[in-house]
Chains A and B, each alone.
Chain A
Amino acid sequence: GLFFWHLKNTGIPCHFVHLCRVANDRLITFQYFNFLKRMYVTQCNKDLSQRAKPKSDSVASPFRDLQQLDQEKKVIHKIRPISPVHQPLSETSIRNEVREMKSAAETEDSVTPVRAESKEDRQWKEMKLQLKDLPGILARLSKIKLTALVVSTASAGFAMAPVPFDLTCFLIASLGTGLASCAANSINQFFEVPFDSNMNRTKNRPLVRGQISPLLAVCFAASCGVPGIALLTLGVNPLTGALGAFNIFLYTCCYTPLKRMSIANTWVGAVVGAIPPVMGWTAATGSLDAGALLLGGILYSWQFPHFNALSWGLREDYSRGGYCMMSVTHPGLCRRVALRHCLALLGLSAVAPLLDITTWTFPIISLPINLYISYLGFRFYRDADRSSSRKLFFCSLWHLPLLLLVMFTCKKSFLEKEDKGDLLGESHGRAMEIRLP
């Protein structure tokens, strides 16, 4: 049950607080705050924690929840002075909620909106676009959190490239990638309205709820995609622009329809996720080196344990929604592939120093985390149950940012490389001069 706290403004001490008209016209409950806070912590304790297949919808972005939390924080003070009578009741229900939450981790971002908005959901709404809601709506349409993570992988690619750091180029590349990602995500949502309505995880998306018309969604996508790709092509280099355009195409025209046709969608989606760091690298260097491919490879391999573990808990929704996912149709393959790619991560990390991207410290330092995820991958392979899939999924959330961070700290210094590959000249100065674009 929901507890409503109504505070009368007459000044008569009362044990209830009326919380309507908070930010978005929602009746919020005390439990909901706890819920949100816990959810906030699990989802966002690392800024890259919601890494899904970038440009895929395997993890929705409850940006709205974050907004709510900020705005409702002020209101939480009013709630504190509650009569002790109500405390035990709310605590038990909070405990129930927590238990429920534990068993529905993958749909966590849908449980809270359901709780808080179930009242609002039952109402009829006018389909008129409110300008003040537009930023929030567009943020959800473009899956802004996912976009942010995509941009950060691209930045990682940029940072790992063995060239002097160019700030303007970096910013332009990041902006272009972000716009391209917004466009791709919007088109994805445009294509998937009835399917999203039927899945718990995605049923609160703007197009599903009629907050925005499909026409507007397409226009928004175009107005993000075209400048984004133009920015990349003209402001950075044509190769990055081409990769960006290709990735949008791959995601919207290959991955999205393929999700309902064949399990091959997972591999396509992994490529979609692997391209942004490659784009970052090509933005910096202007060419597709082995290093770019290695970085792409690491992200490609990472997608599998991440997504396969996530999809393990969504089998019912996928089955009913008509999505062809390995976890439903080929469960054995699902787990094998996840394990295989955990091990591949180990291998790829070891290759990094051979390609002069990092020093030998990288495979050594990253060994523990790679071994850990491989261990969880093995457990998932062997046990094939909910708890092992969840463990693997949550591990993947911190594994990737940590790996990229370690990689960056172990990056082979620019000058060091000049020392080694000294065919260009004796002095550092001369070598640097030639290297600069």
Chain B
Amino acid sequence: PPAHSHNDWIGPPDKHSNLRPVIFYVSPEESPLERRLREARQEAQACDQRFWARHNRAFRQEKEEFIYSRLKAKGLKMRDETGQKATLNAEEMADFYKDFLSKNFRKHMQYNRDWYKRNFTITYLMGQVALARALRWLRWKKKNVGN
């Protein structure tokens, strides 16, 4: 992001986590409240990134392993004569999807709880910051009008 910008910048989705990274703008006159908000958002971003990158990687890996084992059981190779990657159809993959979902259920429950908590905290902080900024602006306005 350009140096003169006073806003956050959001980027393209990450390859592993599919989440969009945000570069936060640090204002020189950042109040403690604003700093708390920024740090909360940074931490949340890091947590989410970690979780989803790992989760998606695991999904891809386990999917490959599943396809490989199934193909082997059927006596086929990973790539057929034309060099195309052999795939299983949706019905065969269904077993894998079911399995993966139940295996990761606990992990998702934990993540859900954390995500909701973080989301609410950040939004609440945003509200506080917005309110503080509005009050500051009103005070400044009053001062200027008074002058």
Contacts and interface: CB of A to CB of B under 8 A. Distances in A.
Interface of A: 121-128, 190-191, 193-194, 197-198, 203, 208-210, 213-215, 218, 257, 260-261, 313, 315-316, 318-320, 322-324, 328-329, 331, 384-386
Contact of B101 (A194, A313, A329, A384): A329
B85 interface: no
A23 B23 CA distance: 27
Contacts of A209: 10, 20
Contacts of A126: 1, 5, 7-9
A161 B13 CA distance: 49
A203 B8 contact: no
B interface, size bucket: 35 or more
A328 B10 contact: no
Nearest to B25: A127
A193 B119 contact: yes
Contacts of B12: 121-124
A257 B18 CA distance: 21
12 contacts: A124-B1, A125-B10, A126-B9, A127-B22, A215-B126, A316-B93, A318-B97, A320-B59, A320-B100, A322-B105, A322-B111, A322-B112
A200 to B, nearest CB: 10
B68 interface: no
Closest 6 CB pairs of A and B: A319-B97, A210-B10, A322-B108, A215-B126, A127-B8, A128-B7
Nearest to A218: B123
A320 B53 CA distance: 12
Nearest to B49: A194
Contacts of A210: 8, 10, 20, 22
Contact of A320 (B5, B56, B122): B56
A384 B1 CA distance: 50
A329 B104 CA distance: 13
Interface string B53-78: 00110010000000000000000000
A190 B123 CA distance: 10
B7 A385 contact: no
A125 B8 CA distance: 9
Most buried by B among A191, A316, A318: A316
Contacts of A318: 97, 101
Contact of B20 (A191, A208, A261, A313): A208
A335 B100 CA distance: 21
Nearest to A389: B90
Given A203-B13, A213-B126, A320-B56, 9 more contacts: A190-B123, A191-B119, A214-B123, A257-B112, A315-B93, A316-B93, A319-B97, A329-B102, A331-B98
B85 to A, nearest CB: 16
Nearest to B123: A214
B7 A260 contact: no
Contact of A260 (B8, B108, B122): B108
Given A210-B22, A260-B108, A331-B94, A127 B9 contact: yes
Given A194-B48, A214-B122, A319 B101 contact: yes
Nearest to B127: A215
Nearest to A211: B10
B26 interface: no
A116 B11 CA distance: 17
Contacts of A386: 90
Interface string B81-122: 000000000110110111011101101110110011001001
A432 B92 CA distance: 63
A15 to B, nearest CB: 31
Contacts of B19: 194, 197-198
Nearest to A214: B123
A197 B13 CA distance: 8
A123 to B, nearest CB: 7
A81 B130 CA distance: 53
A315 B97 contact: yes
A194 B94 contact: no
Contacts of B22: 127, 210
Given A197-B20, A315-B94, A320-B100, A215 B7 contact: no
Listed residue (A128, A198, A331) with the most chain B CB atoms within 10 angstroms of its CB: A198
A324 B100 CA distance: 11
B98 A124 contact: no
A121 B12 CA distance: 6
B119 to A, nearest CB: 7
A260 B100 contact: no
A162 to B, nearest CB: 44
A122 B13 CA distance: 8
A197 to B, nearest CB: 5
